[in-house]
Amino acid sequence: MPDSRPIQASPSAGHAASQSAATETPASGAQETIRAFRVESDGSRVWGALTQLPLDALSPGDLVIRSRYAGINYKDALAATTAGKVIRKFPRIGGLEVVGEVLSSEDPRFAPGQTVIAHSMGMGVDHDGGFAQRVRVPADWALPLPEGLSAFEAGAIGVAGYSAALAIELLEREGMSPAAGPVLINGATGSVASLAIGMLAGKGYQVVALTGKPDAAERLRARGAARVIVAADMEDTGRPLEKAQWAAAIDSVGGAQLSWLARSMQNRGLIASLGNAGGNELATSVLPFILRGVRLIGVNVMVYIDLKRHLWSRLASDLKPAGLQEHTRLITLDELPARLQAMLEGRSEGRAVVEFSR
């Protein structure tokens, strides 16, 4: 469990913390000053806090973006903890993603005013990320906003929706289809899983949601789940092969629940594994794989970065989730530390996005 109190809500050095305050306009010869959530370390501990810093302090890049939306991911919360061991060089502005308008570009592919998406590629880890009023990245990391998506929709989808789309893409390439049978989504209240439910339901799949939160059933049905299973009621006999139930599954939990999933798949069942909230270990036997032909597919955004443009095209069309407005919580930069803390303590659900004032 990460340090339970790693994140400071107040800005460092006594700076004012009002999200409504505009980015400071520099006087002649002065540097522009921006607000950001930055992760610091003194060598023995790691913490994150709101701060102000000059634009020139950002990681290098030939594209400067005025931030509009920055989605919040569990990895962002871990990065601001001592136990997370996510960031290797400090200080670092957090945030794996950003959607915003180009302010300046040294690359002819982008023009000022153009809306772009940037995510992954080390953002918030090895390179300053999206939790800032301005973001500077290499132009190769940015993608023009696809036709069919608004800036808000792209922010609401973000890395979470992109990961869900990648899982679906990989499963479909292996033969997943609505006709094959039900698809189980494990860890269903998480942001990736909840977006996957909406995407699959929109394509006509019979989606079954597995969650550890009994009070989430109604919300999961609203996202598109045809059936909801509470983890405490999960039928696990411990046998090498359980009753064959699922044609495919998307798992963000790992551990014992992934083991149960492997033993519960139908013949030629497909599992996309993209998380480890329940642990890194996987205790299983070879029987699901050699007797039922189950296939376990690892999902990692960076491994499949060549699919980035294709997946965002799908997210603007056949995989665009319904109800993004209703199921996305917009917060201010000032509210970010509390949200990250809630994620670490398991008190958050669904997708939250920082909205920056224009």
Average pLDDT of span 288-311? 97
Residue 27 has pLDDT above 90, yes or no: no
Sole residue written with tokens 């200080």: 91
B/e letters for 145-164, b = 16+ CB within 10 Å, e = fewer, are bbeebebbbbbbbbbbbbbb
**Tally of helices (H runs) and strands (E runs) in the chain:** 9, 16
Residue ranges of the chain assigned to CATH 3.40.50.720 = 160-298
Residue 136 has pLDDT above 80, yes or no: yes
pLDDT value at position 55?
96
Question: Which residues share a beta bridge with 53?
Answer: 34
Question: For 229-285, how does the pLDDT look when each residue is reduced to its tens digit (9 = 90+)?
Answer: 999 888 899 999 999 999 999 999 999 999 999 999 999 999 999 998 888 899 999
Architecture in CATH for domain 12-148+320-355: Alpha-Beta Complex (3.90)
Residue ranges of the chain assigned to CATH 3.90.180.10 = 12-148+320-355
Nearest of 313, 276, 297, 305 to residue 122 by alpha carbon: 305
Q: Are 212 and 231 in contact, with CB atoms under 8 Å apart?
A: yes
* Rounded distance between C-alpha atoms, residue 271 and residue 248, angstroms: 6
Question: For 52-76, how does the pLDDT look when each residue is reduced to its tens digit (9 = 90+)?
Answer: 999 999 999 999 999 999 999 999 9
Question: Which residues share a beta bridge with 70?
Answer: 354
High-pLDDT (> 70) share of the chain, %:
92
For residue 9, name the pLDDT band (cuts at 50, 70, 90).
low
* Rounded distance between C-alpha atoms, residue 124 and residue 20, angstroms: 23
Nearest of 154, 126, 117, 78 to residue 353 by alpha carbon: 154
Chain centroid to CA 90: how far? Answer: 22
pLDDT value at position 45?
95
| Amino acid identity at 288 | P
Architecture in CATH for domain 160-298: 3-Layer(aba) Sandwich (3.40)
Residue 211 has pLDDT above 60, yes or no: yes
* Rounded distance between C-alpha atoms, residue 2 and residue 82, angstroms: 7
For residue 318, name the pLDDT band (cuts at 50, 70, 90).
very high
Going across the sheet that includes 295-298, the strands are: 227-230, 207-211, 183-186, 246-251, 265-273, 295-298
pLDDT value at position 14?
37
> Where are the alpha helices (H) located in the chain, listed in sequence order?
74-79, 151-173, 191-202, 217-223, 255-263, 287-291, 308-315, 324-327, 336-344
pLDDT value at position 11?
43
Chain mean pLDDT for the chain: 92
Q: If you write DSSP's letter for every residue of 287-347 in order, what string do you get?
A: HHHHHS--EEEE--TTTTGGGHHHHHHHHTTTTPPTTHHHHEEEE-GGGHHHHHHHHHTT-
Residue 347 has pLDDT above 90, yes or no: no
pLDDT value at position 16?
38
The first and second tokens of residue 65, run together, are 């973006």
Q: Using alpha carbons, list the distances in angstroms from residue 190 to 232, 260, 340, 352.
A: 17, 19, 14, 11
Sole residue written with tokens 């909801």: 228
Residue 25 has pLDDT above 60, yes or no: no
Average pLDDT of span 9-22? 43
- For the entire predicted model, the pTM comes to 0.90
* Rounded distance between C-alpha atoms, residue 71 and residue 76, angstroms: 10
Sole residue written with tokens 């006709």: 179
| Amino acid identity at 60 | P
What DSSP designation does 83 have?
Answer: T
pLDDT value at position 7?
72
High-pLDDT (> 90) share of the chain, %:
84
